Structure 1
Amino acid sequence: MQNEEKTEKFRQLVENKFQIYNSLFMSLPYDKMTNIGMLLPFLYEESKIGYEKGKSPEEIVEEFFAKHTELETEEQKTELLFKIIQYIERQVVLFDSIEDAAFCELHPPSETGTLHQLHERALQEHLVTATHDKMRGFSVRVVFTAHPTQFYPNSVQRILHDLRSAIMKDSVTEIDMLLQQLGKTPFLNREKPTPLDEAMSIIFYLRYVYYDSLGELYRKIKNSFGTQDFKLPHDIFQLGFWPGGDRDGNPFVTAEITQKVAQELHFSILKSYYEHLKNLRRRLSFRGVSEVLEQLSHELYDAIFKNQNITTRHILSRISEAEKILTEQHNGLFHNLLEDYKDRVQIFGTHFATLDVRQDSRIHQQVIDEIIGEKSGLYLKNITTEDKLKWLLETETVLNPDDFSGITKDTLQNISNIRSIQEKNGERGLNRYIISNSDEVKDVLNVFGMFRLCGYSEEEINIDIVPLFETMEGLDAGEKVMKELYELPAYRKHLERRGNAQTIMLGFSDGTKDGGYLKANWEIYETKEQLTRISDENNIKVIFFDGRGGPPARGGGKTHDFYASQGKTIANHKIELTIQGQTITSVFGNKDQAKYNFEQLLTAGIENDVFKNSKKDLTVKERQLIEELADISFKKYSDLKAHPMFVPYLQEMSTLEYYGRTNIGSRPSKRGGTNELKFEDLRAIPFVGSWSQLKQNVPGFFGFGFALNELKNQGRFAEVKSLYKGSDFFKTLVLNSMMSMNKSYFPLTYYMKNNRKFGSFWNILFDEFELSKSMMLELTGFRMLMEEEPLSRKSVKIREKIVLPLLSIQQYALMKIQKDEGNREAYEKLVMRSLFGNINASRNSA
């Protein structure tokens, strides 16, 4: 579809439907929300016109009260603002559902990055065999995390799911009923979710979205690419799972929780098999086959409800038994249905998704120091790191977790429990231990040593130990750390037992927070190149696992373009990335979207190796230019971070401190237990999210425009234009940064430029935004941001219109907090309530 055709289709399928259903929505009798639909357009107009005239949110909201209401007390006004927030939240859900329902028609199979397009191209260029070869050893793993960017409770998620289906059928009666339900359903959790709650929320998607979407997608690839000589590997798509295993900064994730989540994953996949088998038996009702499948049904039931053990191998043996009878006695009737069932068992095993364990290296060091202090006979004051590691790798001591307390006991217990989890869920159920803030060899060896202390012989450590390099220092140290590990005999033997493969995680979110957008992405690119080189030299297959968030400021953005732009200097054995919170709902939230986005990842990885494209490989000159731009932007961003107003601005003028007070996630919003707010303790999500709520999106662009302008001033802008045209990697960075800017709206905070304390700081941000916007438009030749992406641009525009009154309310409340101590509590609640709606409306903005 051409851009004009796409825009018209979006207008018909999304924009027009939203207008129609929104009018229905406006007339519904919500609790205490009558006539809000009539008042809302007035607040929107006051906001739109007011900001263009430079008015403050406080002036705009007060004028709205004066002109359009007869309210007099602060209490009455606050109550109305709460009702407006509730109303807008439901408008956002309606728009989400309409946009999701139109997904398939807006994304035809012929689009770039689809399997259809990959297959057609492979045929035309006589590269089907090369594509088969790549598929044999390639896979995509999407890892679900519990990071708190999803603010819909489960009850609302289910309505969203049903509303989408009703819109696809154009069933006005059903839509009307669901909108009424939505009006009366609370949008807030009464209490903070526990890690188990978070896990169950994502398990809902595993059961009702991914079981079918991955099963159907596997069958689609098998039908397209399968031949007598090529069997599609069952692990080409994999699911990963962090809720209940990720204890980095989350004291509520304990050994007991990890075990419970592993159990829930196990039971959930067995329930999916049990339900699927019910439908299968309706068709396979033939003598012999029916009895075998009935027996399997009883065995699955007993495994679910009587906790009897069942293995993947056993389930497959029953299916094979039924298959044999079906083929020999019943002409293979409905064999395709049985084959599909068998494929799913091989894809999901008895684990559904692989549970990862993650902890911070500094916590591990505390644990090791306590153990050595109590058990080694060594004096900690005089002992060196080398002495600690020597003891750790040579000692025959086996510890009892019950001999310790607190984090040491829990860490050891969790490692001990991995045995029983692997017995129940299979080795695929839990086979990775990720170490945050890795920047030294000891960080990896501490984990290896703890397994030995928990009684595992080296042959029994069926775990990949995964360092996570996430800060600028960590990324710089990556090559040296891995070189030393590869040369260490004990660790090298461990890698041999793990198939000479090493997974390394790279943190985009913290990298961007630490180094700015351009520098972080370039640093990660170079780190991947260095780690590829050192791994190849040591005959190790390196797999990169990217900790990416939803928006560009946290490593997100156009994922297919990012992975398709990696050149031959970066290992491409597998694509692994995190998706989190709201990105799960907005990008992988239903079967059509999930299949499309899994396809996009798979084709990106395959295209990279199979099809030649000079734009993927950087020349020496291009590398030098990106390096220069990255260094200039890093200096500009570092100066901003060092500004004395940087942290105070976020603390006093943004929603930063309110993230930790919302009931949206089990994890605290900052590391460390002190009250003092330090930049290094800030987590990436509230950090990026707070800039997003201000509609400033600073981490997604700051320093980029300055760097481009520096080269322009040197008379070298033609070089940058050549780089943009010649490098897919650089082009992707530019387009993703433009996405961040397109979701910015500085008029919302124009009032800050005259603030005595923060005025000059605000002007630094605004000047860089204006400079970055003009430089990128000049570079790309676009007339507007995101010109080549009409669907995304239209979606953003409508969402921004829906959410503008919400932004006004939030900024109004933040201004009132600084002036009116008497009503502080009510205004703080307004800030937190509007925080939910802003994020949900701006899909992928935090």
Structure 2
Amino acid sequence: MRYEEKIEKFRQLVENKFQIYNSLFMSLPYDKMSNIGMLLPFLYEESRVGYEKGKNPEEIMDEFFTKHTELETEEQKTELLFKIIQYIERQVVLFDSIEDAAFAELHSESDAGTLMQLHERASQEHQLEATRQKMKDFGIKVVFTAHPTQFYQNSVQRILHDLRTAIMKYSVTEIDMLLQQLGKTPFVNKEKPTPLDEAMSIIFYLRYVYYDTIGELYKKVKNSFGTDSFVPNQDMIQLGFWPGGDRDGNPFVTAEITLKVAEELRLSILKSYYEHLKDLRRRLSFRGVSEILETLSHELYDAIFKDDQSITSDQILKHINAAEKVITEQHNGLFLNLLQDFKDRIKIFGTHFATLDIRQDSRVHQEVIDDIMTKKSGLNSESISTEEKLKWLLETDIILDPEDFDGITKDTLENIYNIKYIQKRNGEQGMSRYIISNSDHIKDVLNVFALFKLCGYQEEDINMDIVPLFETMEGLDAGEKVMRQLYELPVYRKHLDRRGNAQTIMLGFSDGTKDGGYLKANWEIYETKEQLTKVSEDHDIKVIFFDGRGGPPARGGGKTHDFYASQGKTIANNKIEITIQGQTITSVFGNKDQAKYNFEQLLTAGIENDVFKNSKKDLSKKERQLIEELAEISFKKYSDLKAHPMFVPYLQEMSTLEYYGKTNIGSRPTKRGAGNAIKFEDLRAIPFVGSWSQLKQNVPGFFGFGFALNTLKKEGRFNEVIDLYKGSDFFKTLVLNSMMSMNKSYFPLTYYMKNNPKFGEFWTVIFEEYKLSKSMTLELTSFKMLMEEEPLSRKSVQIREKIVLPLLSIQQYALIKIQKKEGNKEAYEKLVMRSLFGNINASRNSA
């Protein structure tokens, strides 16, 4: 589809429909929301024109109240603003639903990165057999996390799901009813969700989106590439799960919660099988087959509803194989394809549905180890060296009882004891890895290995992958040394032998970017992957990289297919594993059409990388040196900004940073450290990046990039950078992702800050770098505008930014009132928090 055709189709399918249904929306009789639809365009226009004229948000809001309302008291005004926020929140849901409904028509089966395109290209280039070979041991794993960037509570997500379906059916009556429901449904949790609530929210997607999506996608792969001698591996597309297992910085995730979530995952997949089997039995009503399936149905029912009953995937498959035999031998193979589809899903999902990971911070493990040693070893943990601690841990034959401890030590030990039970109920895939965040030393991995032994596990019974997560600049730098030491340690090497000589290593994009800035973090991770690939190959270990990527480019998001398709042969490509979180689950994998398309994009990116030769994937020595130089220059610029005395105070006083923790959207605190003082190193990446996004400044996505490009231009070397952009897919992807961050920036919103006596100079530093980065990247790409080559995304961003501009005005107005200590502080703080919701939800296309 040509550029103009895409824009026209988007206008017809999305923009026009939004105008039509929005007019319907405006006339609905919402409680306390009458006439808001009439006032909103005035607030938008006051904002748009006001910011262009350099007015501040307070002036804009005061003019809006004076010219378009007769409100006099502060209470009346804040009440109106709350109603406007509620209205805009619902407009965002409507736009989301319309855009989702148009997805299939805006994206073709033959788009770049689809299975059809992969098959066509492989056929034309005589690479079908090579593609099949790659498929034998290649796979993707999408790991769902509960990081607090999802502001839609479950009831709203259900409406979004139903609204999309109604829009696709053009059912105006149904749309009208759902919009009325939307108007009367609260958008805000009265209390923070528990980790179990978060898990159940994502399990909804497992059951009603991914069970069918992945089953159908596997069937598509099988039909496209399968032969008599080749059947694609059912582990090709896997799901991972963090809610209920991720205890890093979350005191509410306990051993008991982990058990409950594991059980919910098991019950959910059995319920999906039970429902699927009901449909299957309607077709497979033949003598000899119906009896087998009826028996299976009873066994599944008992496993779901009777506490003392469980069932394994092998038991289910035994029935399916028996039914398959009867159909083949007695009923001419009629409907055999339906039974085989069911069988494939059992092999894909087992009795686990998604693998529940455990994650904890290395520093917490050290506290636990020190507590154990103090009470059980007779040694003073504070006075002995790390080496002595490890020696004791690996050599002692003490078996610990969790009841001898309390607090985090007791819970950690109970959790490790529970793993055997979970693996028995859910299968080994139900829980098969333990992730250690903030890893930067060999002890971080060995502490966890030792904890298993202290809980009575024989070495051969530790059926878990122990996964270091390198996420800070120090951690990334230490990665190669840590892994070499581990590979050369006999006790750990034996563990890897038992795990198939495979090692998963996680890399954190979010904290890396927060720590080192956009370009430096991405290059550091690229180089770290190369080093880890080499050290793993040198020791005959198959390394699998698991990327902790967020939604926006500043947290490793952006063009996922392009990112993975751009990695050359110096980086191991055994599997693609990524985290998907918050609103990215809804926006990128939220319905079957989107999920199937984006799963395909990941799958083909990894396969293409090995099968098709492309010189733009491999960096030459000169290109590497140039990226290294740019990364160092940008890192210095970003480091200077971080070192600015106003950096943390600016975020604390001028942004929404402190309000993330007050919203009831996630069970996890927004910072790691205790106490009220905010230190940079304790800031979690999500509120850090999110606060810049709410300010429409998106600093972590561009800061230092323009400065680095301009430095080389001043040296008369800009042609080198242009050649790099044209010659390296990796560098091009970084540039385009950064441009996406800048496209979502809007500095007129905060122009007023340049006159602030405390922060004016700091704001100006950021604004000047934004202008420089924008002009330099446009010059580099020869684009006339940001995101020039992505008309659909750009148009979507444009409409969404228009919807939320009044919301941004309200948020800044409230922040100004709080800073000035004017009026009802509590009411203004609530306005700030509520406006967070719509702004984040409207930014859903950041991934």
Give the 5 Å matches for 1:49-128: 49-128=49-128
**Matching of residue 43 in structure 1 with residue 43 in structure 2:** yes
Pairwise CA distance, 1:821:
4.6
Q: Which residue of 2 aligns with 1:627?
A: 628
Pairwise CA distance, 1:822:
3.9
Give the residue type in structure 1 aligned to 2:37. Answer: G
Partner of 1:736, secondary structure, is: helix
TM-superposition CA deviations, 1:430-454 (whole Å, max 9, x none) = 0000000000000000000000000
Q: Which residue of 1 aligns with 2:215?
A: 215
TM-superposition CA deviations, 1:281-330 (whole Å, max 9, x none) = 00000011000000000000000000301000000000000110111111
TM-superposition CA deviations, 1:251-275 (whole Å, max 9, x none) = 0000000000000000000000000
Pairwise CA distance, 1:842:
1.2
TM-superposition CA deviations, 1:568-614 (whole Å, max 9, x none) = 00000000000001000000000000000000000000000000000
Q: Which residue of 1 aligns with 2:353?
A: 352
Give the residue type in structure 1 aligned to 2:231. Answer: K
CA distance in 2, matches of 1:777, 1:754: 29
Give the residue type in structure 1 aligned to 2:119. Answer: H
CA distance in 1, matches of 2:83, 2:818: 20
CA distance in 1, matches of 2:753, 2:692: 14
Give the 5 Å matches for 1:494-513: 494-513=495-514
Please tell me whether the aligned partners of residues 692 and 845 of structure 1 are also in contact (alpha carbons under 8 angstroms).
Answer: no
TM-superposition CA deviations, 1:37-75 (whole Å, max 9, x none) = 000000000000000000000000010000000000000
CA distance in 1, matches of 2:104, 2:449: 47
Give the residue type in structure 1 aligned to 2:233. Answer: P
Q: Which residue of 2 aligns with 1:741?
A: 742
TM-superposition CA deviations, 1:711-764 (whole Å, max 9, x none) = 000000000000000000000000000000000000000000101000000000
Give the 5 Å matches for 1:607-756: 607-756=608-757
Q: Which residue of 2 aligns with 1:596?
A: 597
Partner of 2:547, secondary structure, is: strand
**Matching of residue 370 in structure 1 with residue 371 in structure 2:** yes
Pairwise CA distance, 1:843:
1.1
Q: Which residue of 2 aligns with 1:311?
A: 312
Q: Which residue of 2 aligns with 1:390?
A: 391
CA distance in 2, matches of 1:79, 1:412: 50
Partner of 2:269, secondary structure, is: helix
Pairwise CA distance, 1:379:
2.3
Partner of 1:503, secondary structure, is: strand
How big is the alpha-carbon RMSD for the aligned residues of Structure 1 and Structure 2? 0.6
Partner of 2:222, secondary structure, is: helix
Give the residue type in structure 2 aligned to 1:514. Answer: D
TM-superposition CA deviations, 1:184-205 (whole Å, max 9, x none) = 0000001000000000000000
Q: Which residue of 1 aligns with 2:21?
A: 21
Q: Which residue of 1 aligns with 2:491?
A: 490
Runs of 4+ in structure 1 off by over 4 angstroms are: none
Partner of 2:239, secondary structure, is: strand
Pairwise CA distance, 1:383:
1.3
Pairwise CA distance, 1:377:
1.5
Pairwise CA distance, 1:818:
1.6
CA distance in 2, matches of 1:217, 1:75: 54
Pairwise CA distance, 1:700:
0.2
Q: Which residue of 2 aligns with 1:832?
A: 833
Give the residue type in structure 2 aligned to 1:219. Answer: K
Unmatched runs of 5 consecutive residues or more in structure 1? none
CA distance in 1, matches of 2:64, 2:770: 30
Partner of 1:764, secondary structure, is: helix
Pairwise CA distance, 1:4:
1.0
CA distance in 1, matches of 2:130, 2:505: 27
Please tell me whether the aligned partners of residues 689 and 845 of structure 1 are also in contact (alpha carbons under 8 angstroms).
Answer: no
CA distance in 1, matches of 2:566, 2:519: 15
Give the residue type in structure 1 aligned to 2:216. Answer: E
Q: Which residue of 2 aligns with 1:329?
A: 330
Give the residue type in structure 1 aligned to 2:754. Answer: K
Give the residue type in structure 1 aligned to 2:827. Answer: A
CA distance in 2, matches of 1:582, 1:490: 42
Pairwise CA distance, 1:360:
0.3
TM-score (norm 1): 1.00
Give the residue type in structure 1 aligned to 2:220. Answer: K
CA distance in 1, matches of 2:383, 2:192: 44
CA distance in 2, matches of 1:283, 1:312: 23
Give the residue type in structure 2 aligned to 1:629. Answer: L
**Matching of residue 148 in structure 1 with residue 140 in structure 2:** no
Pairwise CA distance, 1:380:
2.4
Q: Which residue of 1 aligns with 2:273?
A: 273
TM-superposition CA deviations, 1:424-477 (whole Å, max 9, x none) = 000000000000000000000000000000000000000000000000000000
**Matching of residue 238 in structure 1 with residue 264 in structure 2:** no
CA distance in 1, matches of 2:820, 2:675: 27
CA distance in 2, matches of 1:295, 1:837: 49
Please tell me whether the aligned partners of residues 752 and 762 of structure 1 are also in contact (alpha carbons under 8 angstroms).
Answer: yes
Give the residue type in structure 2 aligned to 1:596. Answer: Y
Please tell me whether the aligned partners of residues 448 and 465 of structure 1 are also in contact (alpha carbons under 8 angstroms).
Answer: yes
Partner of 1:359, secondary structure, is: strand
Pairwise CA distance, 1:342:
0.3
CA distance in 2, matches of 1:625, 1:5: 38
TM-superposition CA deviations, 1:761-814 (whole Å, max 9, x none) = 000000000000000000000000000000000000000000000000000000
Please tell me whether the aligned partners of residues 558 and 846 of structure 2 are also in contact (alpha carbons under 8 angstroms).
Answer: no
Q: Which residue of 2 aligns with 1:434?
A: 435
**Matching of residue 160 in structure 1 with residue 160 in structure 2:** yes
CA distance in 2, matches of 1:751, 1:381: 52
TM-superposition CA deviations, 1:394-451 (whole Å, max 9, x none) = 1110000110000000000000000000000000000000000000000000000000
CA distance in 2, matches of 1:141, 1:818: 45
Q: Which residue of 2 aligns with 1:187?
A: 187
CA distance in 1, matches of 2:691, 2:207: 33
Q: Which residue of 1 aligns with 2:805?
A: 804
Aligned length: 846
Give the 5 Å matches for 1:757-796: 757-796=758-797
Pairwise CA distance, 1:382:
2.9
Unmatched runs of 5 consecutive residues or more in structure 2? none
CA distance in 2, matches of 1:516, 1:381: 35
CA distance in 1, matches of 2:256, 2:318: 33
**Matching of residue 535 in structure 1 with residue 547 in structure 2:** no
CA distance in 2, matches of 1:580, 1:8: 32
CA distance in 2, matches of 1:364, 1:845: 34
Please tell me whether the aligned partners of residues 122 and 131 of structure 2 are also in contact (alpha carbons under 8 angstroms).
Answer: yes
CA distance in 2, matches of 1:822, 1:616: 58
Please tell me whether the aligned partners of residues 503 and 542 of structure 2 are also in contact (alpha carbons under 8 angstroms).
Answer: yes
CA distance in 2, matches of 1:382, 1:149: 42
Give the residue type in structure 1 aligned to 2:251. Answer: P
CA distance in 2, matches of 1:845, 1:32: 33
**Matching of residue 33 in structure 1 with residue 33 in structure 2:** yes
Partner of 1:504, secondary structure, is: strand
Q: Which residue of 2 aligns with 1:524?
A: 525
Please tell me whether the aligned partners of residues 293 and 322 of structure 1 are also in contact (alpha carbons under 8 angstroms).
Answer: yes
CA distance in 1, matches of 2:267, 2:738: 42
Please tell me whether the aligned partners of residues 817 and 823 of structure 2 are also in contact (alpha carbons under 8 angstroms).
Answer: no
**Matching of residue 256 in structure 1 with residue 266 in structure 2:** no
Q: Which residue of 2 aligns with 1:465?
A: 466
Partner of 1:235, secondary structure, is: helix
Give the residue type in structure 2 aligned to 1:640. Answer: L
CA distance in 1, matches of 2:783, 2:752: 30
CA distance in 1, matches of 2:588, 2:637: 33
CA distance in 1, matches of 2:337, 2:164: 30
Q: Which residue of 2 aligns with 1:297?
A: 297
CA distance in 2, matches of 1:600, 1:303: 36
Give the residue type in structure 1 aligned to 2:610. Answer: D
Partner of 2:507, secondary structure, is: strand
CA distance in 2, matches of 1:381, 1:273: 53
Partner of 2:558, secondary structure, is: coil
Please tell me whether the aligned partners of residues 568 and 618 of structure 2 are also in contact (alpha carbons under 8 angstroms).
Answer: yes
CA distance in 1, matches of 2:169, 2:16: 16
CA distance in 2, matches of 1:143, 1:710: 39
